[in-house]
Amino acid sequence: MTITGKQLIAGNWTDGRAGNFYGVNPATGEDLQPAFTAADEFQVAEAVHAASACAGEFANLAPAKRAEFLNTCADEIMALGDELLERVSAETGYPRARAEGERGRTCGQLRLFADWIVKGEYLDARIDTALPERQPLPRPDLRSFNQALGPVAVFGASNFPLAFSVAGGDTAAAFAAGCPVIVKGHNSHPGTSELVAQAVANAVKKCGLPGGVFSLILGSGTRVGAELVKSPGIKAVGFTGSLQGGMALFKLANERPEPIPVFAEMGSINPVVLLPEALKARAEAIAEGFVGSLTLGTGQFCVNPGLVIAVEDEGLDRFIAATSAALAKVPAGVMLNKNTLAGYQSGVARLRDQAGVEQVATGEPARGDGGFTCQAGLLTVTAKEFLSNHTLQEEVFGPMSLVVKCRDRSELLQAVSALQGQLTGTLQCTESELVNYGDLVDVLRQKVGRVVCNNFPTGVEVCHSMMHGGPFPAATDARFTSVGTMSIARFVRPICFQNYPEALLPDALKNSNPLNICRLVNGEKTCDAV
């Protein structure tokens, strides 16, 4: 494959008409060839128009056909071979092993969704048969299932150039649901975006689908993304990124004449609560795991542990000492791009400026070689200061964490109660502490999407039970995950058929059950025909 710098508009590769930009190698700070063109508003409109035109056809495709398409997308991504892995590393600074792991995750996700949709659970098919003799009124035949929402706009995330980008979780979920997708590729990895779009375009062709099913729009700045969200044909938005970016899209989407849902996963500080007995028993082991989680991928994960909460005691001192010793050996990591590095530096400076904040540990210093390298670190603050200063809850994206030192158990509970919504909340504890601190656990459950017990929050498994989301501001809608098979629910809506001729019902609702799926028939789950 050759990277051309073009847009993919409904099956056609075409030059953007709104200027040029380049990918940048964050390890060196140098531009990467070739130049990419930026889409203009007419190209956005063309992609949305084509998506709308084929939305019904794609929605009505049998789940097995959509599964074949998802699997073909995975095959075609694998077929990109080393060129893809090399471009990922060049555009992100991620080592090859990470690029390879993320490719595996991306393809595994597409294949998991393929397997899942043919089971038909996500369709939530329900049949209530007619009761013509019922008094005082007969009941008509009523049947419902989940139908695709329509064209979805997906915004690629900088930190997962494959798994949360062009053919990442949002796109896979939307395809699985039967929605055409228009991706706004992230400026941080345009070459990776184009290569993956080539793979998806091949899959579209091989499966005989209309080109409107998939488009890739590129462009620097926020203009082209805003135009996409404002397009009347777009029916939902998937986004992973900053609070500022997510809220800008959320606002745009709600101000449309027809408001649409925005599923923005906006990250969080993922508090890690260290309980005293656990610290006493294994402060050093916890510190080792914590530093690994904090510095993984140069701290560039939505679930990076940016906050530690614990009662001041000898165990906490040991944790801080061990963490500091481990951090001192952490080399400066390469951040994804200039903006990410600048955001990290200003975020760290802002935290350090807050009353009572002390820096207690640092990693190896950033290199002065033109690459976007950064220094890891650990800060501390008292719970009293934490409780009175909301700035201390603002996410700093990167390998920096803040330890909140509580005087006693009551202050510990206060600090947890003061947290805003989070993707995850971690407890390091003994089993008896989990019982004894039941009040704290209950409060934590109200704040997070995932409770992690004696693990660390990094590592988001793609599976059926994953919840990657959480109360605001972790996400715009706590009722949905952006990872795992439950994420398909974002892009469907129920539709009900009343008194509809059996032969003309969608297959999911026919008496004969041609899809061979399990359905709720008159309130009972059954996999049989009616």
Distance CA 228, CA 233 (A): 9
Catalytic-residue membership of 527 = no
By CB under 8 A, tell whether 528 contacts a second copy. Answer: no
Please identify which of the residues 265, 312, 395, 411 carries the catalytic annotation: 265
* Cβ–Cβ under 8 Å, residues 405 and 310: yes
By CB under 8 A, tell whether 416 contacts a second copy. Answer: no
By CB under 8 A, tell whether 464 contacts a second copy. Answer: yes
Choose among 346, 284, 274: nearest CA to 307.
Answer: 274
Closer to a second copy by Cβ: residue 80 or 149: 149
Residues of this chain, 125-164, that bind a second copy according to CB under 8 A:
126-128, 136-137, 139-140, 142-144, 147, 149-150
Please identify which of the residues 73, 179, 302, 429 carries the catalytic annotation: 302
Shortest separation between residue 136's beta carbon and a second copy, angstroms: 7
By CB under 8 A, tell whether 245 contacts a second copy. Answer: no
Query: Distances from the Cα of 170 to the Cαs of 435, 480, 481, 483, 490, in angstroms?
Result: 37, 12, 10, 8, 9
Shortest separation between residue 231's beta carbon and a second copy, angstroms: 15
By CB under 8 A, tell whether 213 contacts a second copy. Answer: no
Distance CA 201, CA 342 (A): 35
Q: How many residues bind a second copy (CB under 8 A)?
A: 80
* Cβ–Cβ under 8 Å, residues 161 and 102: yes
Distance CA 515, CA 244 (A): 43
By CB under 8 A, tell whether 22 contacts a second copy. Answer: no
Residues of this chain, 484-513, that bind a second copy according to CB under 8 A:
486, 489, 492-501, 503-504
Complete DSSP assignment for 196-236: HHHHHHHHHHHTT--GGGEEEE--SSSHHHHHHHH-TT--E
Shortest separation between residue 262's beta carbon and a second copy, angstroms: 10
Shortest separation between residue 304's beta carbon and a second copy, angstroms: 16
The amino acid sitting at 146 is N
* Candidates 21-29, 165-173, 218-226, 521-529; binding stretch for a second copy (CB under 8 A): 521-529
Complete DSSP assignment for 154-189: EEPPSS-TTTTSTTSHHHHHHHHHT--EEEE--TT-
C-alpha 115, offset from chain centre: 21
| Residue that is written with structure tokens 């499966």 in the block | 207
Catalytic-residue membership of 302 = yes
Shortest separation between residue 322's beta carbon and a second copy, angstroms: 22
Shortest separation between residue 392's beta carbon and a second copy, angstroms: 17
The amino acid sitting at 336 is L
By CB under 8 A, tell whether 461 contacts a second copy. Answer: yes
Residues of this chain, 262-291, that bind a second copy according to CB under 8 A:
none
User: Which residues are the active-site residues?
Assistant: 265, 302
